Structure 1
Amino acid sequence: MKYTIDKKEQYVVFTPMEEKLDSLLAPVLKSELLTIHAEGFGNVVLDLSQVKYVDSSGLSALLVGDREFGRNGGIFVISGIQEHVMKLLKISMLDKKLNLVNTLEEAGEAIFMHEIDGGEDEEED
């Protein structure tokens, strides 16, 4: 998988440089997200601006990212979502579960607001 990583002060931007996030690439994404988490980064933006297709394996990778970074009070934000990918997220109702924004700027703002709120999720069980 080709990708870029941009380490900011409060978060990391991970950008897959692939058109598909499928069963071949999803395990790599999961592994990279877990590595970023293990390196001590609590907040991640996954920039999907280059990704035009996601299958169920790709959705699973998104859920792993959300779970891992949310577990310790961090946040996992997905930005740059293409139309086809957004349709799949809506059909699977993951648009209600995941932190989705349109731009990297909005992702940075979401992380900033999350940090101000002390890392608490909006939803309480």
Structure 2
Amino acid sequence: MKYTVDKKEQYVVFTPMEEKLDTLLSPKLKSELLTVHAEGYDKLVIDMSNVKYADSSGLSALLVGNREFSRNGGIFIVMNPQDHVMKLIKISMLDKVFTIVNTLEEAAEAVFMHTIDSVDSEEEED
């Protein structure tokens, strides 16, 4: 599987350089997302702009990423899903599960707001 990883100060941008996320690539995507998480990053933006097609196993890989990155107060953001992928996300009602944005600016803002919300909720617990 071809992809790029761009490590920013607050988050990581993971960009699959594949047109399809299907049963052939999904196990590799899951593995790579778990590797990034294991490296200590808890905020990930997955840039889906190159992905024109996904099947249920592709969505399953995204769900694994969402679960892992959200587990300990992190965030998993799906950025710029293409029409077919977005339709599948909506049909599966995963648009209620994923944080979905269109641009890197929106993703950065979502990470920032999530960080502020996390700090606020920690202060309330004290």
TM-score normalized with structure 2 length? 0.93
Deviation at 1:106, TM superposition (A): 0.6
| Structure 2 equivalent of residue 59 of structure 1 | 59
What amino acid does structure 1 have at the position aligned with 2:115?
A: E
| CA RMSD across the alignment | 1.0
Deviation at 1:104, TM superposition (A): 1.4
| Structure 1 equivalent of residue 89 of structure 2 | 89
Deviation at 1:95, TM superposition (A): 0.6
Deviation at 1:60, TM superposition (A): 0.2
What amino acid does structure 1 have at the position aligned with 2:36?
A: I
Q: In structure 1, what is the Cα distance between the partners aligned to 2:95 and 2:52?
A: 17
What is the number of equivalent residue pairs in this alignment?
A: 120
Deviation at 1:80, TM superposition (A): 1.1
Deviation at 1:89, TM superposition (A): 0.4
Q: Give deviations 1:61-86, integer Å, cap 9, x for gaps.
A: 01001100000100000001101110
Instruction: Determine if the alignment matches structure 1 residue 14 to structure 2 residue 24.
Output: no
Q: In structure 2, what is the Cα distance between the partners aligned to 1:78 and 1:68?
A: 14
| Structure 2 equivalent of residue 98 of structure 1 | 98
| Structure 1 equivalent of residue 35 of structure 2 | 35
Q: In structure 2, what is the Cα distance between the partners aligned to 1:106 and 1:81?
A: 13
Q: In structure 2, what is the Cα distance between the partners aligned to 1:42 and 1:70?
A: 8
What amino acid does structure 2 have at the position aligned with 1:10?
A: Q
Q: In structure 2, what is the Cα distance between the partners aligned to 1:82 and 1:67?
A: 22
Larger Rg: 2
Q: Which runs of 5+ in 2 are unaligned?
A: 122-126
| Structure 2 equivalent of residue 123 of structure 1 | none
| Structure 1 equivalent of residue 79 of structure 2 | 79
* Counterpart secondary structure, 1:95: helix
| Structure 2 equivalent of residue 69 of structure 1 | 69
* Counterpart secondary structure, 2:102: coil
**Identity of paired residues, percent?**
73
Q: Give deviations 1:84-107, integer Å, cap 9, x for gaps.
A: 110000001001111111111111
TM-score normalized with structure 1 length? 0.93
Superposed structure 1 runs of 4+ greater than 2 Å apart:
none
